[in-house]
């Protein structure tokens, strides 16, 4: 396979941000886009140089010239599109949150493994150079033994029942859109927690407008994840150790630098900007995995995605929110 030919399902904001980064990815090209609106698909294809525009997700999935699909639709639609694409042999990069429910994620992961088809959550944060360096520093023991993690990410968005972020049927709420970042960051550093405690507030539509999670571990380590749709939080993450800390300044989910604080020493700032808009690194990862014949990423393995989805669902249920997959998607 000389080059990986990509298609995009869902030509929305995230897809528009990601598409230009294909220019920074060797052995990959954007060749197709699919939407429930042929007009939107055609406009996206013209803007981003894709050769073909499909007026349905089914047509995109059936396109024999597409090797991999980036799913950028609302969360509850990921499940059905992912299953159909996997069964057609298409590799997947699925926008976070991976699905709307933990059970939906389990089903997609099981199908990918059964069929031996590549799938990965599009958690771009894990591939950012500053985050890669943070993992290296932790592994080197630069801050001693890690004891705690904190991360926050919030925006102020006026309540609007017509806005996807406030709509329960579209997977709205702070947790799936924003909370996935601090939870995934904590899971990357500490692994899956043994306990999850959540407090927060709900919007008039019943989705969570804010949430604070305390994740506990049997050995005494802990993580806090704070997210909100009604407060413009800094977007900072810190890993605390017995010998110092590592800070990702705002906004940590696509950082350009980190600061290493060692006990008794001056802070060390490291500038580590991402490639392109920051999506290129995850596209490189998937492309290289496919060319090498791998079915999972070692940096963003499917077990990590399942662990994160479990935490998000536990938190949502404690707040009285029950998400559901969209069974009406035509694929």
What pLDDT sits at residue 234? Answer: 96
Selecting among 5, 75, 96, 254, the annotated active-site residue is: 96
What pLDDT sits at residue 1? Answer: 53
What pLDDT sits at residue 103? Answer: 98
**34 vs 300: CA distance, rounded Å:** 25
Predicted confidence (pLDDT) per residue in 136-175, tens digit: 999 999 999 999 999 999 999 999 999 999 999 999 999 9
Whether the per-residue pLDDT at 179 is higher than 80: the answer is yes
Predicted confidence (pLDDT) per residue in 65-79, tens digit: 999 999 999 999 999
Say if residues 228 and 222 touch (Cβ distance below 8 Å): no
Tell me whether residue 90 is one of the annotated catalytic residues: no
Average pLDDT score over residue span 182-205: 98
User: Residue 7 in 3-state DSSP?
Assistant: strand
What pLDDT sits at residue 129? Answer: 98
Say if residues 129 and 272 touch (Cβ distance below 8 Å): yes
């Amino acid at each position: 396979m000389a080059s990986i030919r990509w298609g995009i399902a869902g030509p929305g904001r995230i897809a528009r941000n990601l598409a230009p980064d294909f220019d920074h990815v060797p052995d990959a090209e954007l060749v197709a886009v699919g939407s429930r609106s042929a007009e939107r698909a055609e406009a996206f294809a013209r803007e981003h140089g894709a050769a073909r525009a499909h007026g349905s997700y089914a047509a995109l999935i059936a396109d024999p010239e597409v090797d991999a699909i980036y799913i950028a639709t609302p969360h509850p639609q990921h499940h059905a599109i992912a299953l159909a694409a996997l069964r057609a042999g298409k590799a997947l990069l699925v926008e976070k949150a991976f699905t709307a429910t933990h059970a939906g994620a389990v089903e997609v992961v099981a199908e990918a493994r059964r069929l031996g088809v590549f799938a990965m959550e599009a958690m771009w944060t894990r591939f950012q150079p500053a985050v890669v360096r943070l993992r290296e520093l932790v592994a080197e023991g630069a801050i001693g033994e890690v004891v705690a993690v904190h991360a926050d990410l919030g925006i102020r968005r006026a309540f609007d029942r017509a806005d996807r972020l406030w709509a329960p049927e579209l997977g709205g709420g702070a947790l799936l859109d924003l909370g996935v970042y601090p939870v995934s960051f904590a899971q990357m550093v500490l692994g899956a927690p043994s306990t999850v405690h959540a407090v927060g507030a709900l919007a008039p539509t019943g989705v969570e407008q804010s949430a604070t999670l305390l994740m506990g571990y049997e050995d005494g380590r802990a993580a806090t994840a704070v997210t909100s749709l009604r407060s413009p939080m800094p977007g900072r993450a810190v890993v605390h150790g017995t010998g110092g800390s590592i800070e990702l300044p705002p906004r940590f989910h696509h950082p350009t630098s980190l600061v290493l604080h060692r006990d008794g020493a001056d802070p060390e700032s490291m500038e580590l900007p991402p490639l392109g808009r920051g999506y290129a690194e995850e596209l490189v990862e998937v492309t290289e995995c496919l060319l090498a014949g791998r079915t999972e990423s070692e940096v963003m393995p499917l077990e990590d995605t399942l662990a994160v989805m479990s935490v998000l669902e536990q938190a949502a249920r404690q707040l009285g929110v029950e998400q559901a997959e969209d069974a009406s998607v035509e694929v």
